[in-house]
Amino acid sequence: MTNERKMNSNSKQEQLEQFRVNDQGKKMTTNQGLKVSEDEFSLKAGERGPTLMEDFHFREKMTHFDHERIPERIVHARGFAAHGEFQVYESMKEFTKAKFLQDPTVKTPVFVRFSTVAGSRGSAETVRDVRGFSTKFYTEEGNYDLVGNNIPVFFIQDAIKFPDLIHAVKPEPHNEMPQAASAHDTFWDFVANNQESAHMIMWHLSDRAIPRSFRMMEGFGVHTFRFVNDQGKAHFVKLHWKPVLGVHSLVWDEAQKIAGKDPDFHRRDLWESIEMGNFPEYELGVQLLAEEDEFKFDFDILDPTKIWPEEDVPVKIIGKMTLNRNVDNVFAETEQVAFHPGHVVPGIDFSNDPLLQGRLFSYTDTQLIRLGGPNFHELPINRPVCPFHNNQRDGYSRQTINVGQVSYHNNSLAANTPSPATEAEGGYVHYQEKIDGRKVRARSESFKDHFSQATMFWNSMSQPEKEHIIQAFNFELGKVKSKLVQQQVVDMFANVNLELARTVAVAIGAVPPNAGGSDITKSSPAVSQENTKKLPNTRKVGIIIGDDFNGAEVMTILAALQAEGVQPEIVSEKLGKLKALDGTELEVNHTFLTVDPVLFDAIYAVGGTAESKKFYKDAAYFIHEAFNHYKPIGATHEGKQWLEMEKMTNSPGVVVGEDVNEFVSAFVEAIAAHRHWSRQIV
């Protein structure tokens, strides 16, 4: 097949092209290529008689349909993916010999799948959850998978506890409720009885767990890995994806409403952005640590419940990934892609993080059941773009026709080939870390501080972020039925912050803890979303407008917003064209019925002179919802009166304009700010 080729940025697409089939305009055939003459009626013994066994077309069609489903992923079942490319800014030769990190002129093809963890394949996308962020780099040395999340730490420290964690968070087994939610007894029972989860829970209850967009999330490799250079020298490394658009989130009320209004909100956002040419971009960052500095911290760098604060170990930005092509077929690509943290290339190696070590087993194992056998590497999306040769043979659905007599090593009949490569030839050599220990089932003492970084996270939050965390606790624990579990959780989080635990306890009717508290005062400003990049680009603004608007002015404003990268979408009473007083026409994109304010980043109220009571009522709903979700609201013309009637005109993030230029620049600034937390909610 295709794998004897030299890599370039199009290598993966060229390879996939051979598997793409376009059925449009073709005659229908069976899978054997036989032309089909009739596809609506099964073969019967008489028009009103029974269907005949002989009907091979019916049998083939029905059998294939009956077998269309494969098991969904045990976790991360709900996901969406896109193709793209990665380019390093400068050679990383000093730290790693990984070829795709050497040459700034080389573009490496990538495939990225984003996901939620707990929900089923059809669940809503804006639920409170960790998001998966998996990247497959198709390098000339083989596939490298960075299988990360949008949160830099994890719930547990040892992979042997992963089945317990997932059993606890998934819908409860006796009634299969709730779907795609952690707000239930078994999850919080797990948390209270596995206190290593404390730091992760703080992130999970923060705005990070309800991202605005896959395009506005960070990604983290979580574990400590190793970079190894061509001299054999190693550095510990943590990997980060930093979104060019900054890190932004929804608010919880909005997230829940979107789950009903548009359960596909995140995939639609990704899909549409790529279709429009607004390619999502992420910079790759590394935190590097010399091996001799391994023990210089007050936490263990192998512990996946800890971050390396960016203020202590700066993130060095080394390259950029651009997602520039949607998939052709979700099943063939997004569903069949198989990621594995053990897919590495020379120059990238593991650490002894016990969570990572267990993952190195689990991923191949799960593909065997999910993708039905050991040949999943042959599926088009999983094939490396470089050649692959070994003596592995046969198995269900083997595609490759391996020619020749020999399929073993060592041999003389094939000159002892395929032969292992030396390190100089690119053979993967595991880093020769010296290990000296007894076999024990135990956890290192150095993993036992579960609260200091949880407190550091809390200390790092802005006031609105803290309030969101408290509300999230109140929601999640408010849904828990067991008083025992509720009490254990508030008692546990007293170790993070006593005030936090007491506030939550009061809200959920538990006994406010007196003991606990933390003397940690350290904070890490880098983890607060308040300090992220704020840009207006690709923000969706709902334009509430009716007939008889001021054509020239409104068109100027819309064009000026677009010039700033903002995406206006016209919302009115009915579809079709609106007519301005000067005869200008404007195509309506959505009606009040087909869209909802939660689906926009901002609202611009224009109105029109001929609006009915019903129109005003609908517009008022849009304005109120946007206001209560702290979103920017702009108003000109008749829209200004609506805001005055609602007494919103002097609120933060509400921009009312007379002068077109002044209005646009103030509104764009308000949009870039994302949310206006100091607003008093009505």
Burial grade of 530 (CB within 10 A; 0-12, 13-18, 19 or more)? middle
Helix (H, G, I), strand (E, B) or coil at 190: helix
In the complex with ligand HDD, the residue whose CB is nearer, 362 or 591, is 362
Beta strands in 234-305 (DSSP E): 234-243, 281-290
Shortest gap between Cβ of 217 and ligand HDD (angstroms)? 12
Give the residue from 132, 126, 151 showing the smallest Cα distance to 253.
126
Quote the radius of gyration of the chain (alpha carbons, Å).
Answer: 28
Is 266 a binder of ligand HDD (CB under 6 A)? no
Give the residue from 240, 235, 239 showing the smallest Cα distance to 289.
235
Residue 513: CB atoms within 10 Å? 19
Interface size with ligand HDD, residues (CB under 6 A): 27
Which positions are catalytic?
A: 76, 149
Of the candidate spans 82-90, 121-129, 355-363, 505-513, the one that interacts with ligand HDD by CB under 6 A turns out to be: 355-363
Shortest gap between Cβ of 152 and ligand HDD (angstroms)? 9
Shortest gap between Cβ of 220 and ligand HDD (angstroms)? 7
CA dihedral sign, ordered 548, 550, 551, 556: negative
Shortest gap between Cβ of 625 and ligand HDD (angstroms)? 32
* Chain residue whose CB lies nearest ligand HDD: 132
Shortest gap between Cβ of 294 and ligand HDD (angstroms)? 20
Residue in this structure with the two tokens 């689906």, named with its chain if needed: 599
Q: How far apart are CA 455 and CA 24, in angstroms?
A: 58
In the complex with ligand HDD, the residue whose CB is nearer, 279 or 363, is 363
Cα dihedral 44, 49, 53, 57, rounded to 10, equals 30
In the complex with ligand HDD, the residue whose CB is nearer, 368 or 507, is 368
Helix, strand and coil in the chain, % to nearest 5: 30, 15, 50
Among 11, 15, 115, 256, binds ligand HDD (CB under 6 A): 115
Among 159, 202, 535, 580, binds ligand HDD (CB under 6 A): 159
In the complex with ligand HDD, the residue whose CB is nearer, 104 or 163, is 163
Is 214 a binder of ligand HDD (CB under 6 A)? no
Is 219 a binder of ligand HDD (CB under 6 A)? no
Is 132 a binder of ligand HDD (CB under 6 A)? yes
Of the candidate spans 147-155, 230-238, 386-394, 670-678, the one that interacts with ligand HDD by CB under 6 A turns out to be: 147-155
162 annotated to bind ligand: yes
**Residue ranges in 287-306 that form contacts with ligand HDD under rule CB under 6 A:** 304
Q: Answer yes or no: are the C-beta atoms of 58 and 51 closer than 8 Å.
A: yes
Give the residue from 85, 19, 79, 128 showing the smallest Cα distance to 274.
85
Among 79, 211, 309, 384, binds ligand HDD (CB under 6 A): 79
Is 366 a binder of ligand HDD (CB under 6 A)? yes
363 annotated to bind ligand: yes
In the complex with ligand HDD, the residue whose CB is nearer, 61 or 121, is 121
User: CA of 603: how far to CAs of 24, 101, 331, 410, 544, in Å?
Assistant: 41, 43, 36, 70, 7
Structural tokens at position 642: 């609506």
Is 147 a binder of ligand HDD (CB under 6 A)? yes
Of the candidate spans 118-126, 189-197, 289-297, 360-368, the one that interacts with ligand HDD by CB under 6 A turns out to be: 360-368
Is 107 a binder of ligand HDD (CB under 6 A)? no
370 annotated to bind ligand: yes
Shortest gap between Cβ of 339 and ligand HDD (angstroms)? 4
Phi, psi values for residue 566, rounded to 5°: -80, 145
Shortest gap between Cβ of 492 and ligand HDD (angstroms)? 21
Three-state SS annotation for 533-586: CCCCCCCEEEEEECCCCCHHHHHHHHHHHHHCCCEEEEEECCCEEEECCCCCEE
Structural tokens at position 337: 């892609």
Q: Answer yes or no: are the C-beta atoms of 28 and 36 closer than 8 Å.
A: yes
Of the candidate spans 37-45, 210-218, 229-237, 331-339, the one that interacts with ligand HDD by CB under 6 A turns out to be: 331-339
In the complex with ligand HDD, the residue whose CB is nearer, 113 or 539, is 113
Q: What is the DSSP string of 354-380?
A: HHHHHHHHHHHHHHHHHTTSTTGGGST
Side chain identity, residue 104: P
In the complex with ligand HDD, the residue whose CB is nearer, 76 or 184, is 76
Binding mask 48-77 for ligand HDD (x = CB under 6 A): -------------------------xxxx-
Residue in this structure with the two tokens 């998939």, named with its chain if needed: 327
List the Cα angle 364/389/346 in 5-degree steps. 65
Shortest gap between Cβ of 181 and ligand HDD (angstroms)? 19
Q: How far apart are CA 633 and CA 660, in angstroms?
A: 15
In the complex with ligand HDD, the residue whose CB is nearer, 304 or 597, is 304
Shortest gap between Cβ of 373 and ligand HDD (angstroms)? 15
Is 354 a binder of ligand HDD (CB under 6 A)? no
User: Pairing relation of β-strands 281-290 and 234-243?
Assistant: antiparallel
Please report, in range form, the residues annotated as the binding site for heme: 73, 113, 162, 359, 363, 370
Per CB under 6 A, residues contacting ligand HDD are 73-76, 79, 113, 115, 132, 134, 147-149, 154, 159, 162, 222-223, 304, 337-339, 355, 358-359, 362-363, 366
Please report, in range form, the residues annotated as the binding site: 73, 113, 162, 359, 363, 370
